[in-house]
Amino acid sequence: MPPKRRYEEIAAHFRRLIQDGDLAPGDYLPSLRNVCDEFNVAMGTANRAFQVLKAEGLTDATSEGTVVASRPSIVISGVDRLDRLNRTGRRYGPGEDSTGHRVMRRSVYDADVCRALEIEPGDEVVIRIRTFRQDGRPTSVGVSVYPPRTTAEVPELAEEERMEGYFGDIYTERTGREVTKGQRTAHARQASRDEIDALQIDAPAHVAVAVLVTNVTFHDEEGPLAYWEDTYAPGMKIPTA
């Protein structure tokens, strides 16, 4: 991968501040002149970086300067939320929350999940489900699936209460084995009725609704530990790097 150009580095810097909540909706970004001084770049480079942020829907230009958009269009969920938690200790950014938390034990038959977790169809797993929201608007449904060997070490995953931290940190503390995450992948599919209801999508019952789905598998040296899937509301954007 070629190195990032300076305007890309500057855009990435402010993008992360916005996604982490260090810059909240309505906050002003530094002036272009201050950006030039801080990053030692020309005015055109700083301006190009700000144009990238505006094109991504993260900022708005006003007569007084550049501000963080009231409803940034990039959604933070799944592994991106985990990365932010590791960086900042914050589970949610400004205006973010989650509802509809459910925990259940189920026999799983989904071929993708069985393959990812290296389990047989019909094996029992723990499933945790929640709907993420931004300013009260549903943005994605998160589903995490844990096989028996994970819940044996982290039984809290099977309890109704929200987890206080990342399951991988708890697992590593108790087993001494490091947890790593695999490559996140994305695909489109038809939304289920439960997803349509959770995301408050206004569509007749007989109409198919296409949604974007991302998934990732976590594992240690002995095999898979968890499968995470996020289903995004139509119109949402997600970071891919």
Average pLDDT over every residue of 78-105 = 86
Query: What is the rounded distance in angstroms from the CA atom of residue 137 to the CA atom of residue 131?
Result: 10
Token pair recorded at residue 30: 């530094």
Write down which residue in 50, 68, 86 finishes a domain: 68
Which CATH number does the domain housing residue 96 bear? 3.40.1410.10
- Mark whether 138 and 29 lie in a shared domain: no
Residue 75 has pLDDT above 80, yes or no: no
Q: Give, for 45, the enclosing helix (H) or strand (E).
A: helix 43-55
Query: If you write DSSP's letter for every residue of 6-20 in order, what string do you get?
Result: HHHHHHHHHHHHHHH
Which of 33, 48, 68 is a domain's end point? 68
pLDDT band at 1 (very low <50, low <70, confident <90, very high): low
Within 10 Å of residue 163's Cβ, how many Cβ atoms? 16
Looking at the DSSP assignment, which residues form a beta bridge with residue 223? Answer: 220
Q: Do 113 and 218 sit in the same domain of this protein?
A: yes
pLDDT digits (tens, 9 = 90+) for 18-73: 888 889 889 999 999 999 999 999 999 999 999 999 988 899 999 899 999 886 56
Q: Are residues 110 and 218 in the same domain?
A: yes
Q: By C-alpha distance, which of 150, 142, 106, 149 is closest to 125? A: 106
How many structural domains comprise the chain?
A: 2
**Cα–Cα distance, 141 to 119 (Å, whole number):** 24
Whether residue 113 is found in the same domain as residue 221? yes
| Helix H or strand E encompassing 36 | helix 32-39
194/168 same-domain check: yes
Residues 206 and 92 in one domain: yes
Same domain, 84 and 163: yes
Q: Whose CA is closest to 68, among 105, 103, 93, 104? A: 93
Residue given tokens 């269009």 in the structure block: 73
Q: Are residues 172 and 197 in the same domain?
A: yes
- The answer, yes or no, to whether residue 117 has pLDDT greater than 70, is yes
Range of the domain at 59: 6-68
**Single pTM value for the model:** 0.83
- What's the CA gap between 50 and 29, in Å, rounded? 9
8 A C-beta contact, residue 224 and residue 232 = no
pLDDT band at 9 (very low <50, low <70, confident <90, very high): very high
User: Which burial class, exposed, middle or buried, applies to 10 when counting CB atoms under 10 A from its CB (0-12, 13-18, 19+)?
Assistant: buried
Task: Dump pLDDT digits (tens) for 174-202.
Answer: 999 999 999 999 999 999 999 999 999 99
Domain termination residue (choose one: 25, 41, 68): 68
At 110, give phi and psi (nearest 5°): -60, 125
